[in-house]
């Protein structure tokens, strides 16, 4: 029931054709020589638009935030042990998830299993069953118990915000007070704010503030739609990411790709396997996405519940193992990092050995005046990288990413 409750909470919730002379468009297209559309790139056999990742220096890191890469984690059914899951997937995982109500006994045996697997526990803490504001001594007791392990942990405190039944002022005050208590009694616990929905922003009245939040968490469920196939969860995630990434690392808690839809009682294992590989590959290009927890626990048989698990089918297991092969299997405790990549708002374009960067990025994100030579792509202006002298701009064709660094 706790898993269903969490699921219910969260469900409420570079391409440019360019060279010294702009390329010629096929006759009869109706376009001027310096106006291109994405459709034209298929004619030119060019790659698709690429995300632009800009290396930043002198930046701060949150607790346990990886300097590069993304941790993997899993949320398992109670009957599936960590050891069994890692034998099935052939991969060590950095984080495992459990849940409890404030005031309940902490899952000591499960924490010991995490320790044995050299994994970091992540505990989702819900409000007590009784109504009203929780007693501060319950928060103190939890902090003291978790702090006694003297180990890195994550705590998602009262996820959902407005679904807790509290007013924003009550919720944020409690969250901030809880963070103070954990700072004093469990300093190795990273505090996580569970966003109530994709549209949540730093202006959300339930957001407690940057100074008391270490990470921000968001669920990401992909369902099959009869008309369009899998829904575009990456586009929705990108909007959320661009809002919070300048301030905090982000975790997906959990990720779920449905392979069985109870709407039409149909299995789509092959499609789900392809989607799993696609989603993980694309998420690797969000540099401040620090943790992806796959929801293998969401394999319940209730009506109108999709099946997101990967451990019940060999094809899904193989797809998952391939997808997470290059993700981080353990938490980095080192500090002192001050350099990381940031994803800019607009993609770049690449064609005929030329990289193009959006004028919006130059002016509004980097404070650079665009050069006179430019290219119009899909109604927006882009500058060729060779005209941007302040930056060193390269393209990785394997990852389909444009990398940008400041020149010395």
Element containing residue 384 per DSSP (H, E): strand 380-384
Q: What is the pLDDT of residues 66-99, one digit of tens each?
A: 999 999 999 999 899 999 999 999 999 999 999 9
Q: How far apart are CA 43 and CA 54, in angstroms?
A: 30
C-alpha 294: how far from chain center = 11
CA dist 364 and 240 (Å) reads 19
Average pLDDT over residues 134-143: 94
- Which of 394, 391, 374, 392 lies closest to 383, judged by CA? 374
Q: What is the CA radius of gyration of the chain?
A: 23
Query: Which segments of 324-374 does DSSP mark as H helices, in order?
Result: 359-360
Residue 361 to residue 49: CA distance in whole angstroms = 15
Rounded distance between C-alpha atoms, residue 385 and residue 361, angstroms: 12
pTM of the model: 0.86
Backbone φ and ψ for 90, nearest 5 degrees, come out as 70, 30
- Label residue 134 by pLDDT band (50, 70, 90): confident
Is residue 198 within 8 A of residue 257, CB to CB? The reply is no
pLDDT score at 338: 87
On the question of pLDDT at 158 being above 50, the answer is yes
pLDDT digits (tens, 9 = 90+) for 16-75: 333 333 322 222 222 333 444 444 443 344 536 999 999 999 899 999 999 999 999 999
* Domains delineated in the chain: 14-55+341-406 (no CATH), 67-337 (3.20.20.80)
CA–CA distances in Å: residue 29 to residues 15, 34, 39, 49, 103 = 19, 12, 11, 21, 68
Digit-coded pLDDT (tens) for 192-235: 999 988 788 999 999 999 999 999 999 999 988 777 788 889 99
* % of the chain exceeding 70 in pLDDT: 86
Both tokens assigned to 180: 């103070």
Neighbours of 266 (CB within 10 A): 11
Helices (H), 90-167: 108-116, 136-147
* Total Cβ atoms within 10 A of residue 57: 9
* CA torsion through residues 128, 133, 135, 140, sign: positive
């Amino acid at each position: 029931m706790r898993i269903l409750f969490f699921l219910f909470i969260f469900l409420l919730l570079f391409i440019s054709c360019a060279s010294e002379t702009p390329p010629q468009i096929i006759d009869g297209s109706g376009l001027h020589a310096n106006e291109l559309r994405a459709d034209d790139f298929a004619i030119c056999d060019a790659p698709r638009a690429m995300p632009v990742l800009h290396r930043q220096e002198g930046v701060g890191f949150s607790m346990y935030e990886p300097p590069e890469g993304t941790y993997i984690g899993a949320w398992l059914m109670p009957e599936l042990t960590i050891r069994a899951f890692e034998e099935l997937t052939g991969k060590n995982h950095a984080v495992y998830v459990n849940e409890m109500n404030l005031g309940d006994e902490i899952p000591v045996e499960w924490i010991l299993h995490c320790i044995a697997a050299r994994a970091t526990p992540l505990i989702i803490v819900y409000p007590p069953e009784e109504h009203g504001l929780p007693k501060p001594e319950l928060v103190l007791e939890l902090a003291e118990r978790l702090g006694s392990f003297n180990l890195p942990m994550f705590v998602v405190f009262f996820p959902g915000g407005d679904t807790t039944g509290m007013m924003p002022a009550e919720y944020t005050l409690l969250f901030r007070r809880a963070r103070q208590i954990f700072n004093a009694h469990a300093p190795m616990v990273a505090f996580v704010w569970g966003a109530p929905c994709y549209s949540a922003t730093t202006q959300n009245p339930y957001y407690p503030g940057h100074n008391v939040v270490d990470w921000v968490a968001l669920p990401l469920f992909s369902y099959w739609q009869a008309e369009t196939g899998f829904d575009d969860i990456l586009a929705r995630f990108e909007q959320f990411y661009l809002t919070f990434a300048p301030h905090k690392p982000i975790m997906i808690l959990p990720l779920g790709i449905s392979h069985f839809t109870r709407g039409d009682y149909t299995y789509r294992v092959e499609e789900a396997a392809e989607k799993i590989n696609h989603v993980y590959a694309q998420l690797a290009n969000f540099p401040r996405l620090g943790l992806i927890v796959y929801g293998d626990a969401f394999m319940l048989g209730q009506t109108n519940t999709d099946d997101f698990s990967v451990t019940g089918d060999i094809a899904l297991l193989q797809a998952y193992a391939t997808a997470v092969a290059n993700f981080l299997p353990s938490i980095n405790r080192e500090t002192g990092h001050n350099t990381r990549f940031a994803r800019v708002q607009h993609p770049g374009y690449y064609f005929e050995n030329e990289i193009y960067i959006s004028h919006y990025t130059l002016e509004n994100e980097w404070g650079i005046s665009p050069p006179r030579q430019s290219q119009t792509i899909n109604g927006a202006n882009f500058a060729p990288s060779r005209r941007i002298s302040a930056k060193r701009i390269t393209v990785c064709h394997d990852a389909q990413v444009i990398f940008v660094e400041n020149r010395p």
